[in-house]
Amino acid sequence: MAPQLDGYFEQVDALSESFIERLRSAVAIPSVSADEARRPDVIRMSKFLVSELTKLGAHVESRELGPQPEKPHLQLPPVVIARYGSSTSKRTILVYGHYDVQPAGIEDGWATEPFSLSIDDKGRMYGRGSTDDKGPVLGWLNAIQAHKEAGVELPVNLLMCFEGMEEYGSEGLDDFIGKEAKSGGFFADADAVCISDNYWLGTEKPCLTYGLRGCNYYSVSVSGPGQDLHSGVFGGTAQEPMTDLVRVLGTLVDTNGKIQIPGINEMVAPVTDEERALYDPISYTMENLHESLGSTTTIHSEKEPTLMARWRMPSLSLHGIEGAFSQSGAKTVIPAKVTGKFSIRTVPDMESEKVNEYVYKYVDEQFKKLGSKNKCEVKLQHAGNWWVASPNHWNFSAAGKAVEKVFGVKPDLTREGGSIPVTLTFEQATGKNVLLLPMGSSTDAAHSINEKLDRRNYIEGTKLLGAYLHYVAEEPMSNGA
């Protein structure tokens, strides 16, 4: 395999500038799934992928998912599915990624235009979606191209599934995967699944990830007055929705992250001694956290409770308030309706439905305690389950060998604090092992301002994805099903 991989690696290096241009084109499409006005751009991004994959010689289909639940005037973006190779003597690997991104605007504090790839002298490539998840998605396309141009045969059949609603709870995708994983469906012959959509723990050492937290995302709206009011004219005469909302939101979690909703923490599976022992060997320091956090304002001061808090415990975050005055300046308005957004990251053995029940009950109680005449409504916006898999499978061993080949180190085995709602769906629908093989590093600032992907992670990451396909082709079946 060595000469084949060497030829492939050389080709990746030779094509690296064109791979960066491919990422530049993708970042320039503001495919923000949460923003209705951006839906045409999300669709444009799907077309970009279809066109790139077609040029590479893949069989590509753009599959419609129908109207968006709750917003039926909007069509969901299509799922782009593709196949490269169909040899019955090769293993078939299904890869997943998403082409939608989180919202971003220069006014949020970005140092450069978020939808224009900007590369600094250290090779940091800034732009929304660079690491989450356009870089990794394009990594698969780059891997195909470099194989073709190096004249190296892809040692597996590659199935691809790229969606455009991941950052909005992967609406519509579960049913689609369920259907396509069945006999005769597009994904029916997958032997294993690989997802590149999370991050290394630090900046130097790659990792393989076998667990994710789930995410239940809520909105809580408080309304009263018929329209926004002048606070000089109406202040002191009307009960204010914003006052009620911040008081309710303030009861959900404390400064040290302890969730105040009864029943939530009680559902968490106890940590076993065996599990605790897994944390010690992981290469991670509080300095790594400070670097990625951009501050030292941590809740814990030690590595183990920090990693547990991220991977193994639930957390509740407040995200924002729709309808509130948020610009600079001093507008003296009383907003008539405000909607707070918060989410709970879930872990084993939390049950999503129960989490919802506890949240609704608690929010109602807290609002009632205020004795307000305003109206309060709490709703689930979307939910995705937690996932934990076995890393003792050929899918993981192959990825471990690929990491050693490309980066010269053994990867850490990690869990991830973020959520990829369809991971569990893929596992259940295909009945196959799912591996998370991240490309980006801990300092990439996914979802934040100044999101970036380092050139090294993108180019060596492309090598890694290709090398993984070679090692996966060679792994004996005995190691897992």
Ligand X SMILES: C[C@H](N)C(=O)N[C@@H](Cc1c[nH]cn1)C(=O)O
- The interface partner of residue 198, options being ligand X, Zn ion, none and the CB cut-off 5 to 8 Å by kind, is ligand X
Q: Which residue is nearest to ligand X (CB)?
A: 418
- Closer residue to ligand X, CB minimum distance, 100 or 475: 100
Count of residues engaged in binding Zn ion, rule: CB under 5 A: 3
Picked from ligand X, Zn ion, none, the partner binding residue 169 (CB below 5 to 8 A depending on kind) is ligand X
Return the number of the residue (419 or 441) whose C-beta is nearest ligand X. 419
CA distances from 206 to 29, 131, 264, 440 (A): 29, 14, 33, 9
Residue type, 455: R
Q: Which is nearer to ligand X, 192 or 344 (CB)?
A: 344
Based on the residue annotation, tell me whether 100 is a catalytic residue of this protein: yes
Please give the structure tokens belonging to residue 3. 């000469």
Q: Please indicate if the annotation marks 447 as binding a ligand.
A: yes
Supply the minimum distance, in Å, between the C-beta of residue 453 and ligand X. 12
Q: Is 215 in the site for ligand X (CB under 6 A)?
A: yes
Binding mask 382-411 for ligand X (x = CB under 6 A): --x---------------------------
332 marked as binding residue: yes
For the CB of residue 198, give the shortest distance to ligand X in the complex, in Å.
Answer: 5
Residue 217 binding ligand X, by CB under 6 A: yes
CB nearer to Zn ion: give 155 or 384: 384
Q: How many helices (H) and strands (E) does the chain have?
A: 14, 20
Strand runs labelled E in 85-239:
92-98, 118-119, 124-126, 157-163, 192-195, 207-212, 214-223, 229-230
Any idea of the CA torsion for 346, 347, 352, 357, to the nearest 10 degrees? -70
Beta pairing, strands 67-68 & 71-75: antiparallel
Per CB under 5 A, contacts with Zn ion among 180-209 are 197
| Residue 217: contacted member of ligand X, Zn ion, none (CB under 5 to 8 Å, by partner type) | ligand X
173-182 CB burial, b ≥16 within 10 A, e <16: bbebbeebbe
Q: Which residues make beta-bridge pairs with 427?
A: none
Measured from the CB of residue 199, what is the shortest distance to ligand X in angstroms?
Answer: 8
Site for Zn ion contains 444 (CB under 5 A):
no
List 41, 52, 100, 132, residue binding Zn ion (CB under 5 A): 132
Task: Specify the residue, 15 or 49, whose C-beta has the smaller distance to ligand X.
Answer: 49
Q: Which of these ranges, 61-69, 245-253, 349-357, 412-420, lies near ligand X under the rule CB under 6 A?
A: 412-420
The yes or no reply on residue 416 touching Zn ion (CB under 5 A) is no
Mask 365-384, x = binds ligand X (CB under 6 A)? Answer: -------------------x
Q: What angle do CA 349, 354, 356 make, to 5 degrees?
A: 120
160 contributes a contact to ligand X by CB under 6 A: no
230 a known binding residue?
yes
Question: Which residues 6+ apart lie within 8 Å of 234 measured at CB?
Answer: 225, 334
Told to check if 167 binds ligand X by CB under 6 A, we report: yes
**Does 100 engage in binding with Zn ion (CB under 5 A)?**
no
Backbone phi, then psi, for 267, in 5-degree steps? -85, -10
Task: Write down the catalytic residue from 41, 52, 133, 166.
Answer: 166
The catalytic position among 52, 100, 133, 475 is 100
Pairing of strands 207-212, 412-416: parallel
Please say if 153 is a catalytic residue: no
Among residues 174, 190, 184, 179, the alpha carbon closest in space to that of 83 is found at 190
Q: Give the position of tokens 């999370």.
A: 198
Q: Residue 127: which of Zn ion, ligand X, none does it interact with, CB under 5 to 8 A by kind? A: none
Please give the Cα distance from 25 to 42 (Å, whole number). Answer: 13
Give the span between the Cα atoms of 135 and 460, in whole angstroms: 12
In 10 A of CB 68, how many CB atoms? 19
Please list the alpha-helical segments (H only) found in 199-253: 231-234, 241-249
Known binding residues for substrate are 197, 230, 332, 345, 419, 447
Q: Which residues of this chain interact with ligand X, rule CB under 6 A?
A: 132-133, 166-167, 169, 197-198, 215, 217, 384, 418-420, 446
Residues that are catalytic:
100, 166
Q: Which residues of this chain interact with Zn ion, rule CB under 5 A?
A: 132-133, 197
